[in-house]
Amino acid sequence: MADTSLQLKHKKLKKDRTVLKLGVFLALTAGLLFIACFGQYLVPYDPYGQDLSNALAPPCADHWLGTDRYGRDLLSRIIVGAQTTVFSALALVVGITLAGTVIGVICGYFGGWVDSLIMRISDIFLAFPEMVFAISIAGVLNGGIWSAAIAVGLIAWPRYARVARSQVLAMKNHQYMNAAKLTGARWYKVILKHILPNIMGPVIVTAALDIGAMIMNLAGLSYLGLGVVPPTPEWGSMMSEGRSMLQTSPWIVLAPGMAIFVTVVIFNLLGDTVRDILDPKQTRRTAGDSVRRMKRRLSGRNRREKTTV
């Protein structure tokens, strides 16, 4: 049914608004990335510089967010800490997106025993509760932000592989795929030119919606002492340092906590908007889609899909 002109106008307005939203959130993200990149040149104080005479100072004109136990300026530490938190989370998301997509495309395109084997392996990884596995791996790998990132990545790749795989399966039987194969295109050419451009949308949406969660997971591991090692400023470990002084100097905990919160909010808003743009058919995807996916999983349609292809 053709849309009336009023409906069309409404749609256009909505689209304009989404694009505007994307611009605003991209600008915010760019600001965040700028701080993360050039933080060490922006800070008012040395983030490692101790000033014991000024320890545990509440927020004031000199120290906007107060100081910690060693008199280090919290604002400076938070700004510098952005680098660790934001870049490790972004690197992690980019890494698992690439790995997951490659694995998922291989599974979906070639099928057969490779597919079955990798899917069974991913079943095993999915059988662990997320943070339980991440905590154990990070603990075993002896700490450090990269071991924390590897721990979270190991548990997150199956989701990406599955998204990519199901996309490949869904488009495998399209006419143009057969046409491409009939014209003699080699498998890598089919994958690069025909499959990848078409599946990137859902994969990017998954990744964009995940950045916030990844930041929180990494900060959680750092809070437990399994991520960044002090004195390197990182928001999660700063909160854990301030934990014992919560009663007397709550700002030590609140400031990095709010930093995590604001960062996650920005990335979540960006993720939601990216989803709205790349996936306009399902505007309310966050919850609705997970419900639908869950239903599909439970009704066993996935399994049937696999056997028919």
Q: Which SS3 state, helix, strand or coil, does residue 182 take?
A: helix
| From candidates 26, 52, 140, 309, binder to another protein by CB under 8 A | 140
Q: Is 120 in the site for another protein (CB under 8 A)?
A: yes
Output the smallest distance, CB 267 to another protein, in A.
9
Q: How many CB atoms lie within 10 A of CB 199?
A: 23
Q: Which SS3 state, helix, strand or coil, does residue 278 take?
A: helix
Output the smallest distance, CB 187 to another protein, in A.
29
Q: Is 117 in the site for another protein (CB under 8 A)?
A: no
Which of residues 136 and 173 has its CB atom nearest to another protein in the complex?
A: 136
Which of residues 32 and 141 has its CB atom nearest to another protein in the complex?
A: 141
Output the smallest distance, CB 117 to another protein, in A.
11
Which of residues 1 and 61 has its CB atom nearest to another protein in the complex?
A: 1
CA distance 83 to 78: 9
Output the smallest distance, CB 174 to another protein, in A.
26
Task: Looking at residues 161 to 220 of the shown chain, list those that interact with another protein (rule: CB under 8 A).
Answer: 212, 216, 219-220
Q: Is 132 in the site for another protein (CB under 8 A)?
A: yes
Which of residues 61 and 298 has its CB atom nearest to another protein in the complex?
A: 298
DSSP 43: -
| From candidates 139, 144, 180, 302, binder to another protein by CB under 8 A | 139
Q: Give residue for tokens 């927020």.
A: 59
| From candidates 184, 300, 307, 308, binder to another protein by CB under 8 A | 300
Measured CA to CA in angstroms, residue 110 lies from 85, 114, 188, 223, 237 at distances of 37, 7, 11, 42, 44
Q: With CB under 8 A as the contact rule, which of the stretches 10-18, 64-72, 104-112, 135-143 interacts with another protein? A: 135-143
Tokens of 29: 């993200």
Of 223, 289, 294, give the one whose Cα is nearest residue 256.
223
| DSSP secondary structure string for all residues of 99-132 | HHHHHHHHHHHH-HHHHHHHHHHHHHHHTS-HHH
CA distance 224 to 137: 13
CB 163 within 8 A of CB 100: yes
Tokens of 46: 């040395």
Name the site residues for another protein (rule: CB under 8 A): 120-121, 123-124, 127-141, 212, 216, 219-220, 223-226, 236, 239, 243, 246-247, 250, 253-254, 257, 260-261, 264-265, 268, 284, 286-288, 290-291, 294-295, 298-300
